[in-house]
Copies of this chain bind each other. A is one copy, B any other.
Amino acid sequence: MPDTLTGRRRSLLHETRCQTCSLSSLCLPLALEVQDMDQFDAIIRRRAPLKKGETLFRQDSPFTSVFAVRSGSLKQVTTEGSGEDQLTNFYLPSELVGLDGIDEARYPGTVVALETTTVCEIPFDRLDSLSESLPELRTQLYRSMSKELRDDRRMMRLLSRKTADQRLASFFAGLSDRFRRRGYSPYSFRLSMSRADIGNYLGLAVETVSRILGRFQSQGLVAVSGREVHILDLEALTQVAEEEGAK
């Protein structure tokens, strides 16, 4: 694939410049000035889209880059010792994947595309040096990591104090919110993950997920058909998620 590609490559690059990216207000360069954004843009490597089921990187492979999701979605799965897999995160557009690999210089989980997915690869060493001269970028990086820490704490609370009903209600309310922030409908979306994925993530058996979804449906909270979801009563759902008298 020689030079002929360069032209196409460039136009692809153009299409995917941060400045023209619809996610720029949510993504890492969010606070950068135009000229700084160009610098940032320059270190990014575009990638061919991942197809459903393809892996972005594998657990324990050397950490080189973080990735920003442009479109689609991914899951992170960690296999530890003899135990079962644990699905530790779903990633949606504008979110940063791989930050937990910095410390040990290897990725602590395998990340797999749940649907056709495009990502921007950001080599970490270059991001780090660039963050030296661009304080806003550095701040944003600290903030991204800090936010992930906060989200993790919320997840721990969910896993240790919430009933199955509350977990699922939280999950759907959370998804709804994440879609809304990205400009999609908060009431109507398609799940890219299977029931098994949801169960694994929330610490529930698949059967429990299925049953409770059925109950939510009969209670008029949501309408679910396969992976198509319509949230009918977001307020009630949020209320279930935060209900007093857990467990």
Contacts and interface: CB of A to CB of B under 8 A. Distances in A.
A157 B103 contact: no
Interface stretch (A46-54, A77-85, A180-188, A229-237): A77-85
A147 B99 CA distance: 9
Given A84-B246, A138-B132, A145-B146, A203 B100 contact: no
B78 A153 contact: yes
Contacts of A154: 80
A28 interface: no
Given A81-B242, A83-B244, A132-B135, A100 B149 contact: yes
Contacts of A80: 154, 157, 242
Give the dominant DSSP class at A's interface. helix
A100 B153 contact: yes
Contact of A135 (B128, B141, B156, B160): B128
10 contacts: A80-B157, A81-B242, A82-B243, A83-B161, A86-B161, A142-B145, A152-B152, A152-B156, A155-B156, A159-B159
Interface of A: 78, 80-84, 86, 88-89, 99-104, 108-109, 128-129, 131-132, 135, 138-139, 141-150, 152-157, 159-161, 200-203, 242-244, 246
